[in-house]
């Protein structure tokens, strides 16, 4: 069975933003791992929305091009894109309260835990409290 790996928004963003070449190349290689079936990608719908927003806001891509990227994730059979539900929100409230975590990161984490994801790629290890998932910074 292929390993299910979570992707934080920042990894997705770097994959489509070549400004920081090392991070871009590393993030793009991870997405290529998903596309060739070496791993199964998991992202919260929130992360796909953040990807669109950041790519357009930072003037990296047009809205049309950013939409195509977002839709490519939503339509892909290689990715699990999990919606935000009341169960995810309730769990995120608890994580935020108990761990003094940023709420938006807690939403991503809660969605992953609820869906059985055991590992996340992110450059922000501090945003994901110990004990929930293994945190891997692919840029180190």
79-82 and 40-44 as β-strands: parallel, antiparallel, unpaired?
Answer: parallel
Q: Is the pTM of the predicted complex or chain greater than 0.85?
A: yes
pLDDT mean over 82-92: 97
Q: Is 121 helix (H, G, I), strand (E, B) or coil?
A: strand
pLDDT at 105 > cutoff 90: yes
Indicate the pLDDT class of residue 130, thresholds 50, 70 and 90. confident
Give the per-residue pLDDT at 59: 85
**pLDDT band (50, 70, 90) for residue 75:** very high
Cβ neighbours around 121 below 10 Å, total? 22
Domain enclosing residue 9, as ranges? 4-136
**Residue 80 pLDDT > 80, yes or no?**
yes
The predicted pLDDT at position 63 comes to 96
What is the pLDDT, as a whole number, of residue 40? 97
- Residue 37 above 90 pLDDT? yes
The confidence band for 56, taking pLDDT boundaries of 50, 70 and 90, is: very high
Transcribe 38-74 into DSSP letters.
Answer: SSEEEEEHHHHHHHHHHHHHTTSS-HHHHHHHHHHHH
Which CATH number is 40's domain given?
3.40.50.1010
| Distances, alpha carbon 91 to alpha carbons 37, 111, 113, 126, 129, in Å | 30, 8, 9, 18, 14
Domains: count for the chain: 1
pLDDT at 1 over 80: no
101: phi then psi, degrees, rounded to nearest 5: -90, 155
């Amino acid at each position: 069975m292929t390993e299910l790996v979570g992707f934080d928004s920042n990894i997705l963003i770097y994959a489509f933003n070549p400004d920081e070449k090392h991070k871009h190349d590393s993030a793009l290689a991870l997405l290529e791992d998903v596309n060739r079936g070496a791993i199964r990608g998991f992202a919260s719908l929130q992360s796909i929305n953040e990807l669109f927003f950041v790519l357009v806001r930072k003037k990296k891509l047009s809205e049309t091009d950013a939409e195509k990227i977002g839709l490519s994730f939503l339509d892909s059979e290689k990715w699990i894109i999990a919606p935000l539900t009341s169960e995810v929100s309730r769990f995120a409230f608890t994580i935020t309260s108990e761990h003094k975590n940023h709420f938006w990161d807690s939403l991503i984490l809660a969605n992953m835990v609820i869906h059985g994801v055991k590992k996340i790629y992110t450059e922000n290890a501090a945003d994901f409290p110990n004990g929930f998932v293994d945190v891997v910074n692919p840029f180190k």
